[in-house]
Amino acid sequence: GRAPFIFLQTTDHGSLTNRFSQDMDLIDMALPLYASMFSAVIILCVLGKYLAVSVPALVVSLVILQKYYLRTSRQMRLLDIEAKAPLYSHFAESWLTLVMNLTVGAIALIIVSMATSLRSQYTGAAIGVALNLVLSLNDSLSNTLQCWVSLETCIGAVSRVQQFTQSTPYDTENDLDDSHLIGSSVYSDTKYTIKFEELAAGYDLSSPPVLKNICITVAPGEKIAICGASGSGKTSLIMSILRMNQIRSGTLRINGRDLAGFTHQQIHALMNVIPQDPLIISPGTVRFNIDPFNLASDKDIKSALQKVGLWNRINANGSDNDDGGEINPPNVLSTDLATASTNWSAGEKQLLALARPLAVPKPILILDEATSSMDGETESIMQQLVNNEFGEQTILAVLHRFKYIHLFDRVAVLKDGVLVECDKPETLLGQDSEFRRLYSALENS
């Protein structure tokens, strides 16, 4: 299952990154390697049976050594993670190597003493093998001790990942088999009403709500501009519709149905969203960037790209018919978007994002400051397309510029999370309104 969006908002990103990078690397890469070192020591003892007598003494020595080494190595590990300093390496190469050399030297002395005093019981070949194994015993013991400590670190990573999976909340609605609705145009022929009924919402239950007593009804096919100063709650209002924050009180209804009764997949099937920062999926084909769920035909995608003025740039080799027919091979929609065109400007990326709802229309279109990074010419193209091509859809648009405010049916003005006014733009501009003050401040800036 997937965690709810609120979990991603309230969980530290560094903690998430650490679990899925460093801890997973320790489990997948380091843990098997360190565990294999113990197998190597066992094999060494099996092949050199004459060393078996010294194994108990070695184990006792390693336990005592590990007791002191582990305490310091933990601190070294923390320093290595936080500061990336080579202190641990220096520590291992000096103090630990010295102790291992002394230990192996003592073992070599024991073997030589046994060989000279018990010559009749051991052959020259056995003694030669024993001395040869002693040469590698130093590294084996040193690696075993380090792997012992590292193995504990890896097991700690396993424990942290297990705790993370157990403590992460589970979104039970993901058990529902409605994945076929993701990106679906099954609702495209129906007009939808959005109604806020004394809605209060926030990002988590421990902080004050960012939206307070919002009451507004958006009729089917109506275009609403959402305005307000920075931090007034404009984007939070959009996130409430997408169920990306927590509703404290009140109700948000779509066609009379409580939003809480919709799954995320059903919400995605109802709405197209163009965010402030457009997403380009790379690597990814032109088709996948426009229609990731493969709902539109090649002709629809081509038409959408032509409307936003990007088709000629993507189809630089001119491999299609210009008469509006089917696209001939090689199909430019199957080429990687980065290959089809490079150095996309912010405005062009936003136009590419606009091509998505043009190719796969849905009854509700949400624009979250979609024109903020555009120049005047590109903004004009986008606003005219929204006005002409989405006449039947219900539109909610967060605006920061008011040049095309006349294209909207009403303006909803937020201030400190409260809806202070909502009326036709010309009506608000003709009054001593909050919107008029915002408009004048923008004109004078």
Interstrand relation of 246-254 and 257-258 (parallel, antiparallel or unpaired)? antiparallel
Cα–Cα dist 149/69, whole Å: 8
What is the identity of the amino acid at 54? S
Cα–Cα dist 115/416, whole Å: 89
Q: For the chain, how are helix, strand and coil distributed in percent, rounded to 5?
A: 55, 15, 30
Q: Which residues pair with 395 in a beta bridge?
A: 223, 365
Q: Are 374 and 351 in contact (CB under 8 A)?
A: no
pLDDT digits (tens, 9 = 90+) for 56-89: 777 677 677 666 666 676 666 666 555 544 555 5
Structure tokens that stand for 127 in this block: 């003694």
Pick among 3.40.50.300, 3.40.50.620, 3.30.1330.60, 3.50.50.60: CATH of 194-280+344-444: 3.40.50.300
Cβ neighbors of 301 (< 8 A, separation 6 or more) are: 286, 287, 290, 291, 333, 355, 359
What is the residue extent of each domain of the chain? 5-167, 194-280+344-444
Identify the DSSP state of 411: E
> Which residue in this structure is represented by tokens 């190469």?
93
Q: What percent of the chain has pLDDT over 90?
A: 26
Identify the DSSP state of 181: G
Number of Cβ within 10 Å of residue 283's Cβ equals 9
Q: Are 397 and 191 in contact (CB under 8 A)?
A: no
Identify the pLDDT of residue 182.
Answer: 47
Cα–Cα dist 422/62, whole Å: 76
Report the candidate in 333, 324, 323, 329 with the shortest Cα–Cα distance to residue 298: 333
Q: Of the ranges 31-45, 227-241, 289-303, which one carries the lowest mean pLDDT score?
A: 31-45
Identify the pLDDT of residue 78.
Answer: 60
Report the candidate in 363, 360, 436, 371 with the shortest Cα–Cα distance to residue 400: 371
Report the candidate in 314, 344, 351, 342 with the shortest Cα–Cα distance to residue 330: 314
pLDDT over threshold 90, residue 329: no
Kindly list the distances between the CA atom of residue 421 and the CA atoms of 407, 412, 413, 415, 426, in Å, as whole numbers in the listed order: 18, 6, 5, 9, 13
Average pLDDT over residues 253-260: 90
Q: Is the bond preceding residue 361 a cis peptide, omega within 30 degrees?
A: no
Interstrand relation of 211-218 and 223-228 (parallel, antiparallel or unpaired)? unpaired
Number of Cβ within 10 Å of residue 427's Cβ equals 13
- DSSP reduced 3-state for 211: strand
Structure tokens that stand for 156 in this block: 């700690």
With 0-12 / 13-18 / 19 or more C-beta atoms within 10 angstroms meaning exposed / middle / buried, residue 61 is middle
Interstrand relation of 418-423 and 410-415 (parallel, antiparallel or unpaired)? antiparallel
Identify the pLDDT of residue 68.
Answer: 67
Identify the pLDDT of residue 57.
Answer: 72
Helical packing angle, 124-167 and 55-83, nearest 10°: 40
Q: Are 173 and 243 in contact (CB under 8 A)?
A: no
Residue 180 banded pLDDT, cuts 50, 70, 90: very low
Average pLDDT over residues 298-310: 92
Total-model pTM = 0.67
> Which residues in 241-314 belong to E strands, given as ranges?
246-254, 257-258, 271-274
pLDDT digits (tens, 9 = 90+) for 356-390: 999 999 999 999 988 887 888 888 889 999 999 99
Residue 185 banded pLDDT, cuts 50, 70, 90: very low
CA angle (327, 332, 338) in 5-degree steps: 160
More confident residue, 348 or 137: 348
Q: Are 225 and 412 in contact (CB under 8 A)?
A: yes
Q: Is the dihedral of CA 279, 281, 286, 289 positive or negative?
A: negative
Structure tokens that stand for 165 in this block: 């999976």
Average pLDDT over residues 141-161: 72
More confident residue, 340 or 235: 235
Q: How far is CA 370 from the centre of its chain?
A: 22
More confident residue, 108 or 268: 268
